[in-house]
Homo-oligomer: A and B are copies of this chain.
Amino acid sequence: MSNIREVAQLAGVSVATVSRTLQQPELVSLKTRNKVLAAVKQAGYKPNLMAVKFRSGKTHNLVVLVPTIANVFFARVISGMQQVAHERDYSLLLCNTLADQEMEASYAKMVQTSQADGLIQLRAHNPFASLEPASDAVLPMVNACEVLDKTNCPTVVLDNRAAACAMTEHLLSLGHRRIAMIKGPSRSPLTRDRVAGYRDALEAAGIAYQDELLFRGDFTLQSGHKAAAELLAMTNRPTAIFCENDEMAIGAIQCLKQHGVKVPEDMSVAGFDDISFAQYCDPPLTTIAQPAEEFGSTAVSLLIDLLEGRLTKAPKVILPFELIIRTSTGPVRGA
């Protein structure tokens, strides 16, 4: 690899002139510029950007902490991130954390060790928690999708409570009164908000909330299947299931079919996310569409703005959702 000194020598100028020719050509005379450019070409010179980054103290790298890239929703989020990052000349350092705190901390350390300028976390956990001695300084971090309750960093969220409420209202409007919910891990604020929205709607309809109608899943197809099996074992079955994501809904639907329960005739099923498979399942899934790519692009935008000092205070961006009614939900039997 040739360096700037070689080029300078070849062109018969100083290294400063080479640097200027490449960075601020207007400061260099046309004649010298051409000499330098010729030398650059001849030497096959490619500036060592690592040196540039080192010197400038800016890496233009962003760490992305994603719970599971295998989750279709997150894949779309990352896709949105990538686009904006590329446009704004940043790179993404991806980490598939599997929600492991040590893994998260290990990547968060990249920010502290100057390997990245900032970080985006897609889960409700502060990856710096175990590292920082609880400094009050603003962390170079953006929290998106599932956000921490108490945080002073920019966030990008959906109004999960309102979305869950909307879906529950849809089911209520179809006459359902016993509506089960297959939820995510209890600790998650995202799950908590969606359960809250579900309860809001029930309450508004004057229906008592019942703990036994809540089933625990982990956002995988399998867990949806399993939860549905538990639900079918109830003596007093619900007539509708609201799943916290589409994967669990698809898993649940399969289980219902295997038990001869027809969707939506015998049981309505709704999902959340509107992944591409949602409209290709049988029956096509009623769900909540989230602007996945926009989560990613907004998060990256915010982070870059934060890093480049264009953010005075931490904004909280709320992205819109849309209730997508397909045919996996229908009127309650006998309505």
Contact = CB atoms under 8 A, between A and B. Distances in A.
A113 B254 contact: no
A82 B54 contact: no
A76 B72 contact: no
Contacts of A48: 54, 113-114
A143 interface: no
A282 B221 CA distance: 14
A70 B79 contact: yes
B75 A69 contact: yes
Contact of A114 (B1, B110, B276): B1
Contacts of A61: 93
B53 A50 contact: yes
A280 B92 CA distance: 33
Contacts of A251: 280
A153 to B, nearest CB: 19
Contact of A280 (B69, B72, B250): B250
Interface in A95-113: 95-96, 103, 106, 109-110, 112-113
Contacts of A30: none
Interface string A60-91: 01001000111010011011001100100001
Contacts of A47: 113
A130 to B, nearest CB: 14
A113 B49 contact: yes
A155 interface: no
A94 interface: yes
Interface in A161-177: none
A64 B1 CA distance: 22
A115 B113 CA distance: 16
A221 B75 contact: no
Nearest to A293: B70
A1 B96 CA distance: 28
B114 A280 contact: no
A79 B91 contact: no
Contacts of A133: 44
Interface string A290-325: 000000000000000000000000000000000000
A49 B221 contact: no
A257 interface: yes
Interface of A: 1, 44, 46-51, 53-54, 57, 59, 61, 64, 68-70, 72, 75-76, 78-79, 82-83, 86, 91-96, 103, 106, 109-110, 112-115, 133, 220-221, 225, 247, 250-251, 253-254, 257, 276-277, 280-282
25 contacts: A1-B114, A46-B112, A46-B113, A49-B114, A50-B53, A51-B54, A51-B114, A64-B94, A68-B79, A69-B69, A69-B75, A69-B82, A78-B94, A79-B96, A83-B96, A86-B95, A86-B103, A91-B110, A93-B93, A93-B94, A220-B276, A221-B276, A225-B280, A247-B276, A281-B281
